[in-house]
Amino acid sequence: MLTLEEAIQHAQEKGQGEGACSQDHRQLASWLQELEQFRKLFKGCDREEIEEALEEDEALTADGFEDALVGFARQFNSGPLALYNLEVCIEILVERDGMTYGEAVEYLEFNTLGAWVGGKTPVFATLIQPDPISP
C-alpha cells in the first residue's frame, strides 16, 4: 500500500511523458498534492474530540450548521468556543433553505453573527484558502 508521498511521486513519474495517460497522471499528482496541503492545514482533532470538548465545557453551538463546524477556538479566560466556517454556513443556507448567496449572508449577519448569547457564543471564521498547486 502506498503512502500519500509515494503516490504523489509515482503520479509525477508517470506524468513525465506525453499523451493522455501522462496528462492524467500529472492531474492526479496535482490533486494528491492539494490533498496533502489540506491534511497539513487541517491536522488536529477529529470531529468527535472537538464535539466532546465543546460538550464538556457546555459551549453553545449553532443548530443546523453541524457540517460547518471546523474546530474550537480559545480566548483569554474562556473554555473552548465552537468554531464554524462562515462560508460553509452560507453554502448550507443556499442549498438547504434555497436562499440566494446575498440572502444567506444577510440572514447570518442578522440572526447568527449579530446574536450575542454570552461568553460561550460560537465563533464564525473566514478561513484562508490554501494556494492552488500548479501542475
SS3 125: strand
Same domain, 92 and 33: no
Confirm if 125 and 70 have CB atoms less than 8 A apart: yes
Chain-wide mean pLDDT for the chain?
A: 88
Say how far apart CA 61 and CA 54 lie, in whole Å: 8
Are residues 59 and 15 located together in one domain of the fold?
Answer: no
Note whether 64 and 22 are same-domain residues.
no
pTM of full prediction above 0.75? no
Q: Are residues 31 and 57 in the same domain?
A: no
Residues 70 and 121 occupy one common structural domain: yes
Number of domains in the chain: 2
* 28 falls within a domain: yes
- The phi-psi region of residue 77 (left if phi > 0; otherwise alpha if psi is between -120 and 50; otherwise beta) is left
List, edge to edge, every strand of the sheet that includes 81-85: 69-73, 81-85, 123-125
Does residue 29 form part of some domain?
yes
Residue 19 domain boundaries? 4-41
Shared domain check, 102 and 69: yes
**pLDDT tens digits, residue range 109-129?**
999 999 999 989 999 999 887
Asked if pLDDT for residue 59 goes beyond 60, the answer is yes
Distances (CA, A) of 134 to 9, 24, 27, 64, 128: 15, 14, 9, 36, 18
Same domain, 60 and 106: yes
CB neighbour class for 117 (10 Å; exposed up to 12, middle 13-18, buried from 19): exposed
